[in-house]
């Protein structure tokens, strides 16, 4: 009787989003283990993700399932005690303290360069691509890198700080195409090993470093896909460090995933399995942290492009999985699928966004010329 009530409650919730269990639509869920229902009801998104990893259900278009659930706000009906304790921990502790800064590098970005080479574009850019006038992932990522360089008005000889430089794709682009001298920092040893190999003979230098240890001054500063690891308790400190490191009348570009609402905790499944100690900022949190430091010159939202980027990554991952399956195993495959597809669905629902902020330091006399 209890199991029937639990199943009925979950089916009722999902039906509000047009998702059924055992239905014929691509986004319907095919149940392989009845423990799925109690897992969802008791653990929300964490339970759904773990059930997928366990092989307790299948779905042809799980990205569409997630989009439909989020469109109807079903995630709000699955708040659990686990969410509360994660929130409490986020309020009491500084989950993104300097002591914890390298955890995300070790647990995510150091998973293996073979995985990311297989999934990403040729320059290994692990952030949202810019699909305007692009037909392939390679073109869209080159578009994004060029967009950033043009927004910063990079010129030969300029000193540029790249906070969270990844495998160095953007640093190399800025050096090769715009003549910039780039200093890239990352908390991932694996990223920097490959970045250095690919950047020989360029005016690019890399260092394993937390942003709080930056000491030099730069003409321009950029941060792509790194703000998500800073944490709301450190946003003001982050902005103050960028301000101190940026020369007068310099520009700072911040490229980040963002949330429509200000919060203090992240999704439990993402926190546990993909991005530990992560947090999605709201626009209000970012602008509040920049008050009395910077002038906000431009804000560009191209969140729907992240849906397309994630699906391109997913297709690459699926196509190349056989090359790495012996190293990572089946449970990892399902975990990674859930990550890519659920994030694509979240962007498709417009619950989360992709923003590029351009800030200026000091009184720039002319009007900033925004580019797209």
Rounded to whole angstroms, the Cα distance separating 207 from 192 reads 7
pLDDT at 38: 92
330: Cβ–Cβ under 8 A, 6 or more apart, which residues? none
Rounded to whole angstroms, the Cα distance separating 162 from 171 reads 7
Name the strand (E) or helix (H) holding 224.
strand 218-224
**Cβ burial, residue 64 (10 Å; 0-12/13-18/19+):** buried
Cβ neighbours around 236 below 10 Å, total: 15
Tell me if residue 22 falls in helix, strand or coil. Answer: coil
Residue 343 annotated to the active site: yes
126 with 120: CB under 8 angstroms? yes
Beta bridge partners, 350, equal none
Averaged pLDDT, groups of 10, the chain, 372 residues long: 87 95 98 95 90 98 96 70 41 53 84 98 98 98 98 98 98 98 97 97 97 97 97 96 98 98 89 93 98 98 98 98 98 98 97 97 91 96
Name the strand (E) or helix (H) holding 309.
helix 304-320
Please give the structure tokens belonging to residue 43.
Answer: 């653990």
Please give the structure tokens belonging to residue 223.
Answer: 């941060």
12 with 37: CB under 8 angstroms? no
How is residue 349 annotated by DSSP? Answer: T
How is residue 107 annotated by DSSP? Answer: I
Count Cβ neighbours within 10 Å for each residue of 27-47 and write b for 16 or more, e otherwise: bbbeeeeeebbbbbbebbbbb
290 with 311: CB under 8 angstroms? no
Start and end residues for every CATH 3.40.50.150 domain found in the chain: 98-361
257 with 228: CB under 8 angstroms? yes
H helix count then E strand count, the chain: 15, 9
Rounded to whole angstroms, the Cα distance separating 259 from 241 reads 23
Give CATH superfamily name and number for 98-361.
Vaccinia Virus protein VP39 (3.40.50.150)
Of the candidates 128, 149, 165, 343, the residue annotated as catalytic is: 343
């Amino acid at each position: 009787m209890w199991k029937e009530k639990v199943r009925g409650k979950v089916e009722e919730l999902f039906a509000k989003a047009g998702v059924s269990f055992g239905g014929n639509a691509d986004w319907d869920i095919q149940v392989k283990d009845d423990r799925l229902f109690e897992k969802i009801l008791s653990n929300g998104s964490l339970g759904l993700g773990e059930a997928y990893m366990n092989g307790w259900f299948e779905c042809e278009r799980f990205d569409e399932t997630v989009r439909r659930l989020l469109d109807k706000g079903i995630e709000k009906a699955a708040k659990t005690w686990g969410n509360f304790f994660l929130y409490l921990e986020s309020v009491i502790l500084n989950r993104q303290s300097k002591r914890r800064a390298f955890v995300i590098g070790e647990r995510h970005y150091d998973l293996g360069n073979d995985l990311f080479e297989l999934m990403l574009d040729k320059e290994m850019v692990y952030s949202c691509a810019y699909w305007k006038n692009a037909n392939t992932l390679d073109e869209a990522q080159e578009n994004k890198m060029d967009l950033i360089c043009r927004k910063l008005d990079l010129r030969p000889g300029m000193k540029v700080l790249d906070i969270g430089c990844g495998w160095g794709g953007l640093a190399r682009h800025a050096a090769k195409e715009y003549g910039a001298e780039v200093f890239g920092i990352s908390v991932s040893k694996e990223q920097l090993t490959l970045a250095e190999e690919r950047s020989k003979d360029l005016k690019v230098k890399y260092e394993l470093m937390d942003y709080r240890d930056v000491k030099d001054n730069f003409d321009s500063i950029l941060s792509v896909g790194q703000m998500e690891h800073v944490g709301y308790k450190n946003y003001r400190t982050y902005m103050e460090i960028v301000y101190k490191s940026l020369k007068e009348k310099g520009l700072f570009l911040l490229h980040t995933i963002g949330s429509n609402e200000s919060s203090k905790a992240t999704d439990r499944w993402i926190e546990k399995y993909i991005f530990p100690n992560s947090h999605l900022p709201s626009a209000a949190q970012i602008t509040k942290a920049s008050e009395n430091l910077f002038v906000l010159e431009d804000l560009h939202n191209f969140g729907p492009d992240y849906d397309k980027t994630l699906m391109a990554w997913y297709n690459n991952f699926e196509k190349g999985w056989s090359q790495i399956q012996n190293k990572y195993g089946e449970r990892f495959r399902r975990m990674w699928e859930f990550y890519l597809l659920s994030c694509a669905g979240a962007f498709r629902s417009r619950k989360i966004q992709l923003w590029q902020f351009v800030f200026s330091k000091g009184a720039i006399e002319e009007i900033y010329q925004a580019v797209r």
